[in-house]
């Protein structure tokens, strides 16, 4: 199974281990972090007539003014309407049509934004900013192949689009994490992802040397593959420190620092950074899960439970949050609650095996010990064995498959030992029936002497 927090953090219980999936791996990917859309300058991209420029400028002034403060649905609609008026009068000003989409995008009105960006591509099929933002919308909707296609097309149309390059690098980072094991020095697929991600981020920094997101992603890229090359940790720290110079309170950066310190086995410092990421962005699901996973290692089950519950509230489809919540509830002796969370994880994504493995641990190491008699305990071991066998049918590393097979063997051993004990108990002669001791005559009372 994939390791906890992208590192190996083992939680021991009655001789068995359980792991959760990695943060950011598997399931539906989260939306790109803030700044993942192309904003571009609020001005026409090519030379236009004086009238076109003046009309565009009036709409752009309103947009720029709103962009300095907080957008509302009313201001987004008004800005879009302003640019729509420019489009009606000057249909060939593609940047005005793009700005219609961006105005809607600012308020999360994705359907309206998508329609406007597609309209911009009808005017100019090579309009990179529209393609870049369509990629963000499709990625947010879970349409990952579409998102990748639009971002790659956007970069081909305009190599200086930093949002598209950052988002491509983010996807390449996720792809690196999904590859089984770390054979970084031998795996051509891993090496290509590594090289392509670094190429894209280098291009971003060539355009914007203060891009904190690019520095953060660069650091995360170097955190991958550190098992085979410890120098990557030093390079990662250098890049994260460069991001810190630009914006120390950037939530993604604090989360990345936490992952760095996890790899350095500095768990207390890692936890501090994960908590700082949550403080900077309370809606940052990844950071909340990382706080939960780290506090599980410290057996602070109440804190872990709260963080996983918050993560599920923010994203009800987070498989790893359900697994973590189950482990926290099990640590709090709520075995029924733990089982419910593992079952919810199965319902969220039955292709993954973490839930089955943890159900096996729950039955083998906890429920079996609470059974009322040996026969009931034996039935529970059989159920635990079935969960481990179901895990063996799921994608997993060779080491994790070997671990699950060992658990199956232990279940069989316990079942056999109970059979032997019950058989021996049945074959043993019944104990002799106790008999009353022989009566002892009571001597007569000695008459009093005269």
pLDDT digits (tens, 9 = 90+) for 380-423: 999 999 999 999 999 988 899 999 999 999 999 999 999 898 88
pLDDT at 181: 66
**Worst-scoring range by mean pLDDT, 168-172, 338-342, 445-449?**
445-449
**DSSP string of 9-75, one letter each residue:** --EEETTEEE--PPTT-SSSPPPPPTT-S----SS-SS---HHHHHHHHHHHHHHHHHHTS---HHH
Q: Would the pLDDT of 152 be above 90?
A: yes
Tens digits of residue pLDDT in 108-148: 999 999 999 999 999 999 999 999 999 999 999 989 999 99
| Predicted TM-score of the model (pTM) | 0.81
Distance in angstroms (rounded) separating the CA atoms of residues 52 and 62: 16
Does position 41 have pLDDT exceeding 50, yes or no? no
Give the architecture (CATH level 2) of 34-157: Alpha Horseshoe (1.25)
Domain ranges of the chain: 34-157
d(CA 178, CA 272): 27
Mean pLDDT of the chain: 87
């Amino acid at each position: 199974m994939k390791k906890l927090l992208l590192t190996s953090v083992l939680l021991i219980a009655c001789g068995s281990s359980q792991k959760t999936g990695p943060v950011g791996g598997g399931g539906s990917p989260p939306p790109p972090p803030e700044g993942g859309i192309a904003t571009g300058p609020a001005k026409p991209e090519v030379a236009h007539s004086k009238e076109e420029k003046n009309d565009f400028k009036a709409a752009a002034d309103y947009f720029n003014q709103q962009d300095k403060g907080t957008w509302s649905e009313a201001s987004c609609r008004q800005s879009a309407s302003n640019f729509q008026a420019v489009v009606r009068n000057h249909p060939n000003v593609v940047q005005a049509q793009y700005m219609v989409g961006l105005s809607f995008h600012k308020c999360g009105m994705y359907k309206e934004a998508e329609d406007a960006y597609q309209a911009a591509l009808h005017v100019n099929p090579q309009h990179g900013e529209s393609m870049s933002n369509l990629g963000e919308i499709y990625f947010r909707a879970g349409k990952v192949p579409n998102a990748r296609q639009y971002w790659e097309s956007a970069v081909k149309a305009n190599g200086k689009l930093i949002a598209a390059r950052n988002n491509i690098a983010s996807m390449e980072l996720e792809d690196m994490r999904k590859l089984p094991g770390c054979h970084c020095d031998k795996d051509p697929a891993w090496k290509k992802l590594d090289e392509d991600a670094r190429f894209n981020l280098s291009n971003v920094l060539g355009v914007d040397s203060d891009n904190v997101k690019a520095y953060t992603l660069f650091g995360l890229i170097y955190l991958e593959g550190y098992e085979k090359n410890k120098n990557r940790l030093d390079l990662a720290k250098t890049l994260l420190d460069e991001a810190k110079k630009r914006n120390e309170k950037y939530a993604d950066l604090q989360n990345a620092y936490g992952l760095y310190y996890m790899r350095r086995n500095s768990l207390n410092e890692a936890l501090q950074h994960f908590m700082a990421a949550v403080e900077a962005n309370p809606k940052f699901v990844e950071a909340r899960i990382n706080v939960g996973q780290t506090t599980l290692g410290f057996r602070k089950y109440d804190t872990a439970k709260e963080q996983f519950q918050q993560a599920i509230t923010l994203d009800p489809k987070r498989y790893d949050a359900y697994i973590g919540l189950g482990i926290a509830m099990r640590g709090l002796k709520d075995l029924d609650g733990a089982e419910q969370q593992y079952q919810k994880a199965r319902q969220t994504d039955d292709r993954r095996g973490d839930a089955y493995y943890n159900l096996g641990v729950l039955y083998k190491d906890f429920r079996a010990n609470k059974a009322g008699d040996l026969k009931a305990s034996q039935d529970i071991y059989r159920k635990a064995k079935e969960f481990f066998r179901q895990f063996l049918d799921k994608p997993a590393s060779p080491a994790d498959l070997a671990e699950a097979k060992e658990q199956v063997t232990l279940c069989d051993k316990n079942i056999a030992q109970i059979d032997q004990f019950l058989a021996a108990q049945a074959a043993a002669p019944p104990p002799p029936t106790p008999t009353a001791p022989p009566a002892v005559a009571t001597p007569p009372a000695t008459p009093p002497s005269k």
